[in-house]
Amino acid sequence: MTVIAISTTIAGGGEYAQAVESAGGEPRLLRFDSAALDAQLDGSAGVLLSGGGDVEPRRYGSASELAAGIDAGRDAFELALVRRARERGLPTLCICRGLQVANVAFGGTLIADIGTSFDAPTAARHRFDIGGTTERGLIAGHNVEIRARSLLSTIVPNSPVVTGSRHHQSVATVAGELQVVASTPDGIVEAVEARFPSPFWLAVQWHPESTLGDDDGASRAIFAAFVGAANRFREAGSFREAN
Asked if 65 is an active-site residue, the reply is no
Instruction: Please confirm, yes or no, whether 96 is among the known catalytic residues.
Output: yes
Active site residue 87: no
| Given the residues 94, 96, 126, 142, the one annotated as active site | 96
Instruction: Output the CA–CA distances (angstroms, integers) from residue 232 to 25, 150, 227, 229, 237, in the order listed.
Output: 12, 20, 9, 5, 9
Cα 3 from Cα 97, distance rounded (Å): 22
- Name the 3-class secondary structure at 228: helix
Query: In sequence order, what are the beta bridge partners of 194?
Result: 178
**Where are the alpha helices (H) located in 63-217, listed in sequence order?**
72-88, 97-105, 114-117, 151-155
Please classify residue 165 by burial: count the beta carbons closer than 10 Å to its beta carbon, then call 0-12 exposed, 13-18 middle and 19+ buried.
buried
Question: In a 10 Å sphere around its CB, with 0-12 CB exposed, 13-18 middle and 19+ buried, how is residue 69 labelled?
Answer: exposed
Q: What values do phi and psi take at 99, rounded to 5?
A: -60, -45
Candidates 15, 78, 190, 209; catalytic one: 209
Residues labelled catalytic: 96, 207, 209
